[in-house]
Amino acid sequence: MDASPSKRKRKKKCLPCLFLLLILLWQADAISDKTLEGQYNSSQSVSCSENEYENDNGVCCDKCPPGFKLKKKCTGKGLRSQCEKCSSGTYQENTNYFENCFRCDKCLKKNAVEITPCTHFKNRECGCKKGYYKKEISSSSWYCASCKKCGDGERQDPECAGKKDTVCICKDLYYRVDNKTCAPCTNCSPEFCSQCPGFIITKPTHKPEATLTGPYIILITITVLSMTVTVGFIGYIVLRKWIKLRCRGQSSTSWPESLEPQQHVGVQSLNFTDLPIKVDESPLFTSQCATTKKDLVLPDCIPREIKSHEFIYFLLDEVPISRFKELVRRLNISEQDIERAERDNRAFMDAQYQMLKLWSHSGHGGGINIFPQSLVHECICTLKDMNLHGCAENIENKYCTEAQTLTLHI
């Protein structure tokens, strides 16, 4: 009788534990279901094809074709996305699910022209006008550089176009003399004839030496004697004339014998107006006139004015990019000005132009948009100090006269 109440109390204590255990098992089952659902959804996201994308609900939607942008994602499986055509001045080249189109490039660089126009599915392509080619500074920066001109005996192969400069090779039946000149093979020497295909180098044949006979000896002797006599006679005539001219010069500066002062002649009897005084036209008197005339003679030519932008762009084409900062530092451009130019201009070409423009203001003798000649000479000397002799020579040939070039070499 006493054991039954204790058993009932134990059963009442075990019932809450059983309920708690059932609740824990139900939550564990729910968590496992969510895990399986997530794994299913992740496996579904991987199964989207190349022309589809996964929306926020894990459904594969079709991408927009080229020339269109995504306006609204699909709302369910089997439903299509809403796409909208790119507006004027924008484009999309590939299938996409972007909400915006890319803006087309503009051909605003100097000497740049439009190659192909901007469409809703293709960007505008920019190139350079004839006589220029597209020179890339980096993957996103470029400018139009002038094409190289071939020299004497050269031809273009290929011509300057697109992103390639002119390649100059020798014409047919010509050989290379230096970097800018080719000469015809008809005048080649044995060391260069190897560049001329089809030309055979012929060795001179040794001819038997002619023996001098009696008549030849007599003829040579007479010729030598006659030439010796002729030369001696001409020398004698020239020497005689020179002596006469010298004697005349001395006599013109001396007094005549009739005018020598004598003791028996009074001072008052001399009439100086009767004296045959002759004005000496020696170099002592004529040199002053010659000097005056020489001073009044104008120079043969006036050096042409050099436009600042023309010289700066020509210098940028000549100087290698890797040596440019060394050049501006040698031209006394401070590091602060270099950093300011790079900071103010995203394109490296524009930064280079600003550095050289700043340097051009330090010279004297220029004007508005006129580059000073003194700075041209300074630039040439600096390039030679940097062992960039080819660049210096090109600038001399384009902007310096013959007299200025001789001065630079001295």
Residue 125 exposure: Cα atoms within 13 Å on the Cβ side: 7
User: Which pLDDT score, from 0 to 100, does residue 184 have?
Assistant: 85
| CA gap 179, 186 in Å, rounded | 20
Q: Which helix (H) or strand (E) holds 85?
A: strand 82-85
Give the DSSP letter string of 167-196.
-EEEPTTEEE-SSS-EEEGGG--TTTGGGS
Q: What is the pLDDT of residues 256-287, one digit of tens each?
A: 444 343 443 343 433 433 444 343 443 333 33
Q: What is the pLDDT of residues 71-94, one digit of tens each?
A: 999 988 888 899 999 999 999 999
Structure tokens at 14: 């075990």
Per-domain residue ranges for the chain? Answer: 52-103, 147-195, 308-400
| CA gap 335, 177 in Å, rounded | 43
**pLDDT band with cut points at 50, 70 and 90 for residue 163:** confident
| Sign of the C-alpha dihedral computed for residues 144, 150, 156 and 157 taken in this order | negative
CA neighbor of 109 nearest in space, from 128, 85, 83: 128
Max mean pLDDT among 13-27, 302-316, 391-405 falls in 302-316
Task: Using the CB atoms, write b or e for 219-232: b if 16+ within 10 Å.
Answer: eeeeeeeeeeeeee
Which are the contacts of 210, defined by CB distance < 8 A and separation ≥ 6? none
Task: Using the CB atoms, write b or e for 367-390: b if 16+ within 10 Å.
Answer: eeeebbbebbbbbbebbbeeebee
The domain made up of 308-400 has a fold known as Death Domain, Fas (1.10.533)
Fold equal for 52-103 and 308-400: no
Query: What is the rounded (10 degree) CA torsion for 70, 75, 78, 79?
Result: -50
Q: What is the pLDDT of residues 179-204, one digit of tens each?
A: 778 888 887 777 677 777 665 554 44
| CA gap 151, 334 in Å, rounded | 39
Q: What is the pLDDT of residues 292-330, one digit of tens each?
A: 333 334 344 445 678 888 888 898 888 998 998 899 899
CATH H superfamily, domain 52-103: Tumor Necrosis Factor Receptor, subunit A, domain 2 (2.10.50.10)
**pLDDT band with cut points at 50, 70 and 90 for residue 27:** confident
